Amino acid sequence: MTTLIAILGDQLSHGLSSLAGQDKGNAVILMVEVDEETTYVPHHKAKIAYILSAMRHHAGALREAGWTVDYVKLEHAENSGSFNGEMARAIERHSPTAIRVTEAGEWRVRAMLDSWADRFDVPVSILPDDRFLANHEEFEIWAEGRKQLRMEFFYRDMRRKSNLLMDGDKPVGGKWNFDSENRKPAKNDLMMPKPLLFAPDAITAEVIEMVEARFASHLGRTDSFGFAVTREDALKQQAHFLDHALPLFGDYQDAMLTGEPFLWHSILSPYINAGLLDPLDLCREVEARYNDGKVPLNAAEGFIRQIIGWREYVRGIYWFAGPDYVDRNELGATRDLPSCYWTGETDMHCMSQAIGQTLDYAYAHHIQRLMITGNFALIAGVDPKQVHEWYLAVYADAYEWVELPNTLGMSQFGDGGMLASKPYASSGAYINRMSNYCSSCRYDVKQRTGPDACPFNALYWDFVARNESKLRGNVRMAMPYKNWDRMAQEDKRALRASARQFLERLD
Ligand SMILES: Cc1cc2nc3c(=O)[nH]c(=O)nc-3n(C[C@H](O)[C@H](O)[C@H](O)COP(=O)(O)OP(=O)(O)OC[C@H]3O[C@@H](n4cnc5c(N)ncnc54)[C@H](O)[C@@H]3O)c2cc1C
Ligand code: SF4
């Protein structure tokens, strides 16, 4: 009577639903590293190394906790390369009478798990993933019949449900959202916190060596690898963030500075998404820091909103929108992703900074993803599916359920406004306000046309003009169209010609 419990690469949590209530004496945990998962998009080398090393460490921790773990490494001679192939081989080894697995995080893997009962002729239990605050049904009930699915209203429900920062049925401080106090530009500051770097141990070093040999053509560096790969180390980064960066997290959430990849961000998403950290525990710690008077409300509320608001909301959208969401392209954008996304080689300083640090650390913070690389792809008219595949490949925290709505929905407006109320398109002025990038750029952010003009300027107006039939009716786009209407024909022509010339040179 053996139960085979399959644990996927983003299910590295001791309290996982598939493990709950199981008899360690009659269960075998199966963990497999397979080529199909490492290559369906060309993942950043550090992302592959992080996930495989975290899996190997987690298998060790489960064994220490008394579980029997059958672990198949990527380089195992008989590894079939696919999850189904490895399940078939494991069934031969263990002759299980039942299979258990926690539900998948994406449509592709869900379809695979759904096929197991027929394929293997063994009863399969697929358990809900209870590491989220809202389950699928709750989100559907919330979304059904609403004209607009705005995060802010969903977030308020999650505040009530979790009782985080609540004073009875009212939000602490009298407001749900303190963003008006956030969004300040930052200055270079010698006291700026730096995330902890974890030197690779023997397991991680072996994984890195294997990744460098096996995935040599993938982008990214591993010699700057500093991710935590155990829950203990991830908790150290969590504590470090709470002590040093959280107090100013809100103030500088949207800021960008040359040579400063991390600023006051938490750098916790890879750990939360893989299961090493519990998002709700983290939010309770943040709340406790506020209650103890150690962090201001704008920081605590701002951070908690990212987790129980945005993170939960994008997951809800991902499953609610269905498996065809990935093909949506409301603005009909068809340009190929420019090569600079893979190399970081471009004269646009903001782009080279955001892409350069992505290649170095498999990390960029939200505003870099949204308002630099995302904004550029949007206003240049790049095919949103190609943009999605890039984001999925390059960030250590990227899994389709969280990456796709953020990229295709929020950043590329590919879903026509299901997620975002207006496109996040901007000219260079926004980047100049929120960063110091422009002062080291070969382009002039104040110029709108001509060879030295910041490309974001003409591209922004070209985007507005190009998508007029789809966007003019959007009330939140009223101001850009008012400004466009006021412009002299000659200026409009010059802007569009400048954009065309730039795009013709873009490879
Ligand atoms: C185009 C684009 C693609 C993105 N792809 C991903 C992705 O693949 N994986 C991912 O986890 N996040 C993604 N995000 C959201 C966000 O950029 C990252 O969560 C954040 O940058 C992670 O860094 P951090 O841990 O330092 O975050 P912090 O700024 O410290 O924020 C705290 C936490 O809040 C959560 N969070 C914040 N914003 C979001 C959001 N919009 N959606 C979901 N969670 C959020 C994360 O868990 C994060 O760790 C994307 C955003 C954009 C605009
Ligand atoms: S001038 Fe334009 S391209 Fe250069 S850094 Fe500023 S926004 Fe980016």
- The two three-digit tokens of residue 339, written as one number: 């090569």
Taking the C-alpha atoms of residue 310 and residue 297, their distance in angstroms, rounded to an integer, is: 18
pLDDT at 491: 98
Question: Does 325 contact ligand 2 (Cβ within 6 A)?
Answer: no
Residue nearest to atom 34 of ligand 1 (CA): 306
Is beta strand 170-171 parallel, antiparallel or unpaired with respect to 166-167? Answer: antiparallel
- The two three-digit tokens of residue 381, written as one number: 């008219």
Angle at alpha carbon of residue 363, lines to 359 and 367, rounded to 5°? 115
Residue nearest to atom 24 of ligand 1 (CA): 267
Do 210 and 75 touch, CB atoms closer than 8 A? yes
Taking the C-alpha atoms of residue 95 and residue 92, their distance in angstroms, rounded to an integer, is: 6
Residues comprising the chain, all counted = 507
Q: Could you tell me the distance, in angstroms and rounded to a whole number, from the CA of residue 436 to the centre of ligand 2?
A: 10
Taking the C-alpha atoms of residue 358 and residue 43, their distance in angstroms, rounded to an integer, is: 12
pLDDT at 507: 86
pLDDT at 38: 87
Instruction: Note the ligand closest to the C-alpha atom of 411.
Output: 1
Question: H or E element: which one contains 70?
Answer: strand 68-72
Question: Does 354 contact ligand 2 (Cβ within 6 A)?
Answer: no
Count of C-beta atoms within a 10 Å radius of residue 412: 29
Residue nearest to atom 8 of ligand 2 (CA): 350
3-class secondary structure per residue, 354-420? HHHHHHHHCCCCHHHHHHHHHHHHHHHCECHHHHHHHHHHHCCCCCHHHHHHHHHHHHCCCCCCCCC
Do 9 and 40 touch, CB atoms closer than 8 A? no
pLDDT at 182: 83
For the CA of 364, the nearest atom of ligand 1: 21
Do 378 and 413 touch, CB atoms closer than 8 A? yes
Which residues fall within 8 angstroms of residue 485, CB to CB, at 6 or more apart? none
Is beta strand 68-72 parallel, antiparallel or unpaired with respect to 166-167? Answer: unpaired
Dihedral pair phi/psi, residue 130, rounded to 5° = -90, 20
pLDDT at 180: 85
What sign results for the dihedral spanned by CA atoms 160, 165, 167, 171? negative
For the CA of 245, the nearest atom of ligand 1: 30
Residue nearest to atom 17 of ligand 1 (CA): 366
The SS3 assignment for 482 reads helix
For the CA of 442, the nearest atom of ligand 2: 4
Taking the C-alpha atoms of residue 338 and residue 400, their distance in angstroms, rounded to an integer, is: 22
Residue type, 434: M
Q: Could you tell me the distance, in angstroms and rounded to a whole number, from the CA of residue 455 to the centre of ligand 2?
A: 7
- The two three-digit tokens of residue 372, written as one number: 């630099």
Count of C-beta atoms within a 10 Å radius of residue 336: 10
Residue nearest to atom 3 of ligand 2 (CA): 348
For the CA of 348, the nearest atom of ligand 2: 3
C-alpha pair distances (Å), 189 with each of 192, 216, 260: 5, 37, 10
pLDDT at 429: 97
Question: Does 350 contact ligand 2 (Cβ within 6 A)?
Answer: yes
pLDDT at 188: 84
Taking the C-alpha atoms of residue 74 and residue 43, their distance in angstroms, rounded to an integer, is: 15
Do 265 and 255 touch, CB atoms closer than 8 A? no
- 185 burial level (CB within 10 Å; 0-12, 13-18, 19+): middle
Show the ligand 1 pocket: residues with CB < 6 angstroms: 265-269, 272-273, 303, 306-307, 310-311, 314, 365-366, 369-370, 374, 391, 395, 397-398, 402-403, 406-407, 410-411
Print pLDDT tens along the chain (507 aa). 899 999 999 999 999 999 999 999 999 999 999 999 988 899 999 999 999 999 999 999 999 999 999 999 999 999 999 999 999 999 999 999 999 999 999 999 999 999 999 999 999 999 999 999 999 999 999 999 898 899 999 999 999 999 999 999 999 999 999 988 888 998 888 788 999 999 999 999 999 999 999 999 999 999 999 999 999 999 999 999 999 999 999 999 999 999 999 999 999 999 999 999 999 999 999 999 999 999 999 999 999 999 999 999 999 999 999 999 999 999 999 999 999 999 999 999 999 999 999 999 999 999 999 999 999 999 999 999 999 999 999 999 999 999 999 999 999 999 999 999 999 999 999 999 999 999 999 999 999 999 999 999 999 999 999 999 999 999 999 999 999 999 999 999 999 999 999 999 998
Q: How many CA atoms lie within 13 A of 270 on its CB side?
A: 29
Do 464 and 433 touch, CB atoms closer than 8 A? no
